[in-house]
Copies of this chain bind each other. A is one copy, B any other.
Amino acid sequence: MNDSVRAGLSPAPEVFGGQWALADVVARLRVARMSWRKRQGRGREPGGRELPSREALAEIVHAVCGALFPMRLGPPDLREESEDFYVGHTLDSALNALLAQVKLELNYQVRHEARERPDLHQRAVHIVQDFAAALPGLRGLLDDDVMAAFHGDPAARSVDEVLLCYPGILAVLHHRLAHQLYQTGAPLLARMIAELAHAQTGIDIHPGARIGRGFFIDHGTGVVIGETAVIGERVRLYQAVTLGAKRFATTEDGSLEKGAPRHPIVEDDVVIYAGATVLGRITIGRGSSIGGNVWLTRSVPPGSHVTQANVQSEVRHD
């Protein structure tokens, strides 16, 4: 460690002799941070931490879920008399907290772009207002998702079991909230909400994906749905289905191409069974079914039934 480092916050020599050599580790960590910030073209950071908080978002989503489904995801002592009070108070807290997170993201976007930030507060308010106004509509969509799960799984005993237990519902609930924020200008928060669901369920839906009514994912672990995927109404997926991009696509200068449509379009009433891999900007026509473990990289017309060909197992006996 050279002198310029120690010039930072250098402890007296004897303090270096502490059990953990804390002062030394702290100084070297500072060097590492400075090196990173330099590589990123960042100067001193005059303000404080400017990134949204995963924990704050988790609480916001939890509160919004309670407000959407008060009798099922709200507090245990709720009764109909107090439902609206609970919903109103909970939403208010959640929206205020969301406003703070949106402002953090907008500030971050602006810092990155090195532009002025004149109307930032107002933009954040608009995003949250849109979010609030969208909630009743989202509730309706989610009711259809629950019905789809109930009808789609022979093991489901009631619509309430579906809402309480099914990871697929949890993932869609997060997605619909995240997609709303993604569309209105808070893609980082949207991504963080998507990852909250991913961590809980193993279902990885990019918040950019557009998903129609009555969507159901059963079991779900390992499902991946890409940013530009488009999914119609009444679509059903099983575990480990990938709606991904074809890889190796690069721009002329060799770097990966960003932003362009590169994930599948899945039309209405399609079922895709476990482990199927669907790659690229292809279209799966309305009403098709894609069998388990199928590997599909080209479009199929409506009403197709795609299964693995040549699947054989070899059986030996001792």
Give the secondary structure class of A's interface: mixed
Interface string of A199-210 (1 = CB under 8 A from B): 111101010100
User: Chain B residues with Cβ under 8 A from A239's Cβ?
Assistant: 204, 222, 224, 242
Which 5 A-B residue pairs are closest in the complex by CB-CB distance?
Answer: A18-B81, A85-B88, A82-B92, A28-B136, A85-B89
Check if A8 sits within 8 Å of B19, measured CB to CB. no
Check if A45 sits within 8 Å of B80, measured CB to CB. yes
Distance (whole angstroms) from the CB of A244 to the closest CB of chain B: 7
Checking B28, B129, B204, B316 against A219 with a beta-carbon cut-off of 8 angstroms, the contacting residue is B204
Checking B157, B159, B200, B258 against A155 with a beta-carbon cut-off of 8 angstroms, the contacting residue is B258
User: Chain B residues with Cβ under 8 A from A271's Cβ?
Assistant: 247
Distance (whole angstroms) from the CB of A5 to the closest CB of chain B: 10
Check if B85 sits within 8 Å of A26, measured CB to CB. yes
Interface string of A256-284 (1 = CB under 8 A from B): 11110010000000010111010100000
Check if B35 sits within 8 Å of A140, measured CB to CB. yes
Interface status of A234 (Cβ within 8 A of chain B): no
* Bound Cα distance A201, B198 (Å): 8
A206 with B19, Cβ < 8 A, contacts A88-B89, A273-B247 known: no
User: Chain B residues with Cβ under 8 A from A256's Cβ?
Assistant: 151-154
Give this chain's copy count: 6
Q: How many residues in A have their beta carbons less than 8 Å from beta carbons of B?
A: 155
Check if B49 sits within 8 Å of A71, measured CB to CB. yes
Q: Which of A139-161 contact B (CB under 8 A)?
A: 139-140, 143, 151-155, 157-161
Q: Which of A59-92 contact B (CB under 8 A)?
A: 67-68, 70-72, 74-92
Which partner residue on chain B sits nearest A37 by CB separation? Answer: B71
* Bound Cα distance A240, B244 (Å): 13
* Bound Cα distance A267, B219 (Å): 24
* Bound Cα distance A143, B76 (Å): 34
Between-chain CB contacts (< 8 Å), 10 pairs: A19-B125, A21-B133, A30-B84, A49-B76, A51-B72, A52-B164, A155-B206, A161-B188, A165-B188, A224-B239
